[in-house]
Structures are given as C-alpha cells and as structure tokens.
Amino acid sequence: MSASLLPFLILVLGLGLVLVLDLIKTSAENSYRVALGTVSVALILEVFALRGGRNEVWAPIERVLEFDLLSKGFSTLALFLAFLALGISWQSFDEEQTRPGEYYALMLTATLGAVLVAHSEELLTFFLAFEMLSIPLYILAGFRRYHRKSAEAGLKYFLSGALSSAVFLFGASWIFGASASTHYKDILAGYEQGHQQPIIFGLLLIIGAFAFKISAAPFHMWAPDTYEGSPIPVAAFLSSVPKVAMFAAFIRILIAASDQLSGELMLLLSALSILSIVLGNLVALTQSELTRLAAYSGVAQIGYILIGLSSFVLMEGAGRHVRAHEALGSLLFYLLVYTVTNMAFWVILLTVAKHRGSTQLDAFNGLSQSSPYLAFALMIAAFSLAGVPPLAGFVGKLFLFRSGLQAQPLMAFFGVLGSVISLYYYFNILRRCYFLKPADYDEPIELTPATNGLLFLLLLLTFTGGLVPYISESCFYLAERMYIH
C-alpha cells in the first residue's frame, strides 16, 4: 500500500477514536485533543509527501485518486486550515461542547472529505468526496439547534447544497453520456466525435455546482445566513477548507477542458469573477453584522481568485505555458494568503463574541482600549484583505491583477475597483476600534495563550508573505511543477 494513503488512514483512525471516546462518555477535552492531534499528524505526513513529489499509487486506486503536487499542495493547505478551525473550537459556545464527540467527529469527517476532493481524479469519486465534505457541514451549520438562526442556517445550507449536488450529478451524466468516461482527463473525449453540445452543457452545470461551493456570485446566497447562524469555528471552516478543496478539483477539470474550450471557459469565469467582485464588495458596504460582512467579503475575494483562474485557462488553452504557470502561481499564492488572513479574522471575531456576546459592529467600539493586541491583529488582517502594502494581500493582488492584464484587462480594472471599495468597510471597522469609545463594554479582553499564539502565527504569515519572497516563489515553483504537458 502506498505511503501517500497514510494521511487518509490517520484521519479515519482519529475519527473512530473520537467516536469511541464519545461512546464511553469521556471529557470533551479528550475528544478535542484527539481531533486536533489527528489533523496535526495528517498534516505533517502530507507535508512530507509534498516534499517527496509524486508517488507511486496503489494499483486499486490509481484511476480514482491522484497523488501529484497539485493534489498534495491543496490538501496540505486544507489540512492546515482544518487544524486552525479545530484549534479555535475549544473557545466556542457552550452548546457545541455538550456533544463533543459528535462535533469533533463531524469536523474530522468533513476534513477527510476535503482531502479526498483535493485528490480526486474522476467525477464519481469527486461526488462521493464532495458529499462526505458537505453532509457533516450541513449538520454543523445547524449545530446550535436551540438557536433559531442556527437551525435556519443548517436548513438553508442543506437545501442549497442538495440542489448543487443534483446539478453536479446532472452535468456529470451529460459528460459521461458524451465521453463514455468519468475521468477528468477524458472529459473532452467525445468532443471531436460531434458531441460538443452535451459536453458544453455538462461543463456549464458542473461549473455552476463549483461556483456554489466556493460562494461565487450569483451562487452565493447561502453564505451570509449560513455564516451568521453557524458556530464561529464552523463558519471559519466553511469559509476556507471547502473552497481550497474545490479549487483543486476545479483546476484539474479545467486543465482537461482548456484544450478545446479555453476561450468559452475564460469568458464564463471572467463573468463570475467580475460579478463576484462587484456584488460582494457593494453588499458588504451595507452590513452591520461582521459574520455577514465576512461572507460578502469572501464572495469578493473569490472574485479576485477567479481572475487568476480565468487567466490560467486562457493561457493554457493558447499553449502559453509559462504565462499559465504564472497565473496558476498567483492563484495559489493569493488563495494561501486569503485563507490564512481570513482565518485570523475569524479568530478575532470568535474572541470578541466570547467576551462581548456579539459580532455586531458596535461590539468592536473601543476595542483598542480593551485589547490593543486584538485591535492591532484586526488592523493587519483588514489591511491585508483590502490589499494595503506591504502586506501579503497586496502582493497577492498584484500578482493576480498582472495575470488579469495579460488575459483580459477588464478583470484587472474591476479587481482594482473592488479593492478600493473594500477599503471603506474595512476602515469602518478600524475606525470603531480606534476612534470610538465602548458604550457597554468596559472590561479588558484577556486572551488565552493559545489564542495569542495562533494570532501571532497567522499575523506572521501575513507579514512575511508580503515581505519575504520565499513564500510567493514557492507557490510559483509549485505551479510550475504541478502538472506535465
């Protein structure tokens, strides 16, 4: 059996152990430690696998799962983000801790699903992994079952997710009917035999399902209500881990389809990108609840990432592989920067919610007086998400917009415009932190050592990503080696 399967086995064993601990009614802390340790070990194993390059695959799964640098890179990032989301779960609301075995088992199941999605090599495997990722998240979104908004979040996410699954299956059936294969590399097998229309229609449906999972406009309507009603660690997980996993599979499918359809795919992705940037930023301006603001800001951030993806598709289809590598590298770097900075934002939201009982904008009034370190961390996260130099978000957007200029200048224009708009709502949060006095919150916010350490790590990555070339160079190097033409 291939050593590449070890992260999967560790996650399965950890999941089983959490369920056993829940069965014998052990303490919540034990379940937490096992879940966090499981993801930590899986992450370390995946990092070593990533450094080792492509491995020989166990014969029974060689046409089902892929273990190249693309899948390993994305699954490593997904595991890291899952580790962070699990890490902040311990400070979450009391309701989650009344059923610790269920909570951590569901988080581990979703993490396993995300890793399988990143490694999937054909449509049916992707669908099964997609459901393994989604179904636990439907439950987790409504985990605070006695809260109306949480129940509403779970139901809305379930109904929207079920629709996206049906759309994906319908699209996959058209692809299979035209190409007689569900393998990603064979998606266009029937294109030259006169089956262009069913293949194009199937791809449109599949892209729509992907757009739902990454919350790209206009398929984003589930995100604000789901983020607002979910426990904050679950919202942090939802806003990062599934998106990373989906992009891994999405890129692999688009590589296969770009040979014949690069122009059409580029136009579709450009439209999704521009719509996400404009709609996400404009609606974020009106939000007073920071979980909803984070959801709409996330829609805009996905729009920026789609600039890199559409540029990659166009350059790859045109045979300009150097430019394609650059576009893919910019996508990888900004996806890393966004998800890490976004996780820092959620850690701050959780800390404020725990001490002040709210994530409304008013709860951040005078935060610099209650916790200067937390206010400073929020400032760095907001500046990076807005693209203020010299932070990593600025460098990432610079790479993306450069790729957009080479492919479709209109995307770069809307990207810059969206970044300017986002400055308003990010600066509005900081204005409240530094220039308004707290009306009802006088007690200082004491941070736990774990929260201090986690924020320090995330802020360090945000700083060094912009100032130290090694991180961005590593992303471009990985993009160059991720696949062979």
* Axis crossing angle, helix 449-467 with helix 392-407, rounded to the nearest 10: 40
What gap in Å lies between CA 156 and CA 129, rounded to an integer?
21
- Residue at token pair 């079952």: 145
Q: Specify the pLDDT at position 150.
A: 83
- Residue at token pair 């989604």: 134
Convert the pLDDT of each residue in 49-81 to its tens digit.
877 655 566 666 777 888 888 888 999 999 999
Q: Specify the pLDDT at position 325.
A: 87
What is the SS3 assignment for 360?
A: strand
The residues that bridge with 65 in the sheet, in sequence order, are: 120
What is the C-alpha R_g of the chain? Answer: 21
- Through-space distance between the first and last CA atoms of the chain, rounded to whole angstroms: 28
Q: Are 87 and 40 in contact (CB under 8 A)?
A: no
- 91 phi and psi angles, rounded to 5 deg: -90, 10
What gap in Å lies between CA 6 and CA 46, rounded to an integer?
8
Convert the pLDDT of each residue in 166-225 to its tens digit.
999 999 999 998 888 888 888 877 777 777 888 889 999 999 999 999 999 899 999 999
**Domain boundary assignment for the chain:** 3-481
Nearest to 287 by CA among 233, 362, 231, 235: 362
Q: Specify the pLDDT at position 180.
A: 84
Low-confidence ranges of the chain (pLDDT < 70): 1-2, 52-60, 91-98, 439-442, 483-485
Q: Are 472 and 333 in contact (CB under 8 A)?
A: yes
Sign, CA torsion 234/240/242/245: negative
Report pTM. 0.94
Sign, CA torsion 429/430/435/441: positive
Structure tokens at 483: 């696949």
Type of residue at 470 = Y
